[in-house]
Amino acid sequence: MLKQFDVIVMGAGPAGATFTLTLKDSGLRIALIDKASFPRDKICGDAVSSIAKRILRQIDPNLETDLLDFAPKTNITKALLYSPNFEQLEIGFSKVGHCIRRIDFDNWLFNKAMENKDALFFPNAKVLDIEHQAEKVSVNLADGTRIEGKIIIGCDGAHSMVAKQLAGFKVDRKHYSGAVRQYYKNVKGLKGDSLEVYFLKGYLPGYFWIFPLSNNEANVGFGMLSDTIAKQKIDLKKSLKAIIHELPEVWERFKDAEPLEEIQGFGLPLGSKKYPISGKRFILCGDAASLIDPFSGEGIETAMESGKFAAELVLKNFKADAYSAEDLLAYDARVYKKMWGNFRSHYWMQKILGKRVWLINKLIQIGNLPWIQKRIPKAFY
Ligand SMILES: Cc1cc2nc3c(=O)[nH]c(=O)nc-3n(C[C@H](O)[C@H](O)[C@H](O)COP(=O)(O)OP(=O)(O)OC[C@H]3O[C@@H](n4cnc5c(N)ncnc54)[C@H](O)[C@@H]3O)c2cc1C
């Protein structure tokens, strides 16, 4: 069965949903394809920074108000960083962020995207292959449906088929992380307004997190650079269990807590290496374009922003069918102009701190000196 559209979007996570939302009143006919149906979970820390709200506001100010009315979330005003010797440094945020379970946040965003009446959703889609032709792109689904469009937007996450097939992406472990997550209830001393980040001896470079969710639940996890995981044959699930059960300072918080699921893991393609993220009749967004912050592991806001940038260029170039590799280079330039500075500095932060326990201890100690405290500006979050 042949179905024709203007744009094919693979993946309806934050990148694909924001793309579709941005084009709400454009009249462009969009096929939004996902291998899942919504609501669906995504393994994540669930920290949604204030930048996500800025992006929503830019698309439509009502979206921010709507998100704020959206119930299951916590309001985040600071991060508590812990050194390997468990000294705490508080970093205040200049704007309020949130922790929202991805099953809820992505579903909220997806439903907003589906208010685009020119978008048709293909749930539970098993994509067999993508055909890249001179005048169009076609996607063949296992149920026999063939979807054609002028351009395809790869928003299909860390294992993106579009990135592999059309851009030849391969995982580079030096610029890729792995992380695991487990939801908990009743973690003792949970601070409802703070992201807790622990740099732990024996578990560097990487960090353990406890992020507060609504209903006294917490998103608990641990992540590391894939290069280290491979070289040291680290089992992230075992590491998370060991951190919780074997470190007395952590166990004290967890001994009456209840895990709500098995530990689950997923990959994080980091933005510390530049890739060509568009080409003839395709654009990559979010994780498919490897746009996760190399230090914090945050990728929701960059997925949303890249989705918005892609939508704006697709709309601008649509009438002229200007989707050659050269025509789309403006997208790469805009994304990297906005994000590369942060990615590079955070990459170097990650490299310099590395496994240097003494350095992290020292920096947190220095950060707590009263005259430094007075001078630390609130972090942008
Ligand atoms: C453990 C962990 C913790 C993290 N913590 C945070 C955090 O706290 N804050 C933060 O900002 N970021 C965090 N991230 C990163 C964040 O999860 C991603 O950057 C973000 O989800 C990227 O959004 P996306 O839309 O690009 O991809 P995704 O959210 O992965 O969405 C991709 C969509 O594509 C669909 N799809 C995949 N393959 C196909 C296919 N072949 N055909 C059709 N559909 C397909 C999927 O079903 C999915 O719906 C974390 C990541 C991990 C792994």
- Is residue 237 assigned to a domain? yes
Round to whole Å and give the CA distance between 230 and 168. Answer: 22
Do 222 and 362 fall within a single domain? Answer: yes
Do 156 and 301 fall within a single domain? Answer: yes
Do 281 and 244 fall within a single domain? Answer: no
Confidence of residue 372 (pLDDT cuts 50, 70, 90): confident
Do 215 and 257 fall within a single domain? Answer: yes
Total domains in the fold of the chain? 2
pLDDT at 368: 86
Residue type, 263: I
Ligand 1 centroid from CA 158, angstroms: 7
Question: What's 302's domain CATH number?
Answer: 3.50.50.60
- Is residue 87 assigned to a domain? no
The rounded Cα 241 to chain-centroid distance in angstroms is 24
Instruction: Tell me the percentage of the chain whose pLDDT exceeds 70.
Output: 99
Ligand 1 centroid from CA 42, angstroms: 6
Q: What is the pTM of this model?
A: 0.97
Confidence of residue 380 (pLDDT cuts 50, 70, 90): low
* pLDDT for residue 374 is more than 80: no
Name the nearest CA neighbour of 296 among 134, 155, 177, 143: 177
* pLDDT for residue 188 is more than 80: yes
Do 32 and 121 fall within a single domain? Answer: yes
pLDDT single digits (tens) 53-107: 999 999 999 999 999 998 799 999 999 999 999 999 999 999 999 999 999 999 9
Do 263 and 143 fall within a single domain? Answer: no
Residue nearest to atom 16 of ligand 1 (CA): 299
Strand order in the sheet with 137-141: 2-4, 146-149, 137-141, 127-132
Do 331 and 284 fall within a single domain? Answer: yes
For the segment 134-158, the average pLDDT, to the nearest whole number, is 97
Give the Cβ contact number of residue 189 at 10 Å: 8
Look up the domain containing 202 and give its range.
174-268+354-375
For the segment 334-342, the average pLDDT, to the nearest whole number, is 97
Question: What's 224's domain CATH number?
Answer: 3.30.9.10
- Is residue 340 assigned to a domain? yes
Residue of 8, 35, 277 to mutate, ligand 1, most atoms within 8 A of C-beta = 35
- Is residue 84 assigned to a domain? no
- Check residues 27 and 381 and name the one with the higher pLDDT: 27
pLDDT at 381: 63
* pLDDT for residue 379 is more than 80: no
* Location of structure tokens 């979970």: 41
* pLDDT for residue 355 is more than 90: no
- Is residue 211 assigned to a domain? yes
Ligand 1 centroid from CA 244, angstroms: 25
Ligand 1 atom at minimum distance from 299 CA: 19
Ligand 1 centroid from CA 119, angstroms: 21
Ligand 1 pocket (Cβ < 6 Å) reads 10-16, 33-36, 42-47, 125, 127, 155-157, 161, 179, 181, 221, 223, 266, 268, 286-288, 292, 297-301, 303
HEC per residue, the chain: CEEECCEEEECCCHHHHHHHHHCCCCCCCEEEECCCCCCCCCCCCCEECHHHHHHHHHHCHHHHHHHHHCCCCEEEEEEEEECCCCCEEEEEEEEEEEECCHHHHHHHHHHHHCCCCCEEEECCCCEEEEEECCCCEEEEECCCCEEEECEEEECCCCCCHHHHHHHCCCCCHHHEEEEEEEEEECCCCCCCCEEEEECCCCCCCEEEEEEECCCCEEEEEEEEEHHHHHHCCCCHHHHHHHHHHHCHHHHHHHCCCEECCCCEEEEEEECCCCCCCEECCEEECHHHHCCECCCCCCCHHHHHHHHHHHHHHHHHHHCCCCCCHHHHHHHHHHHHHHHHHHHHHHHHHHHHHCCCHHHHHHHHHHHCCHHHHHHCCCECC
* Location of structure tokens 């920096």: 363
Which pairing describes strands 74-82 and 2-4: parallel, antiparallel, or unpaired? Answer: unpaired
Ligand 1 atom at minimum distance from 302 CA: 19
Do 296 and 209 fall within a single domain? Answer: no
For the segment 313-325, the average pLDDT, to the nearest whole number, is 96
Do 243 and 288 fall within a single domain? Answer: no
Do 67 and 124 fall within a single domain? Answer: yes
Do 194 and 233 fall within a single domain? Answer: yes
Question: Mean of the per-residue pLDDT values for the chain?
Answer: 95
pLDDT at 209: 98
- Is residue 262 assigned to a domain? yes
- Is residue 83 assigned to a domain? no
Ligand 1 centroid from CA 300, angstroms: 8
For the segment 284-306, the average pLDDT, to the nearest whole number, is 97
Round to whole Å and give the CA distance between 204 and 239. Answer: 11
The tokens for 101 are 């379970």
Do 236 and 224 fall within a single domain? Answer: yes
pLDDT at 369: 86
- Is residue 27 assigned to a domain? yes
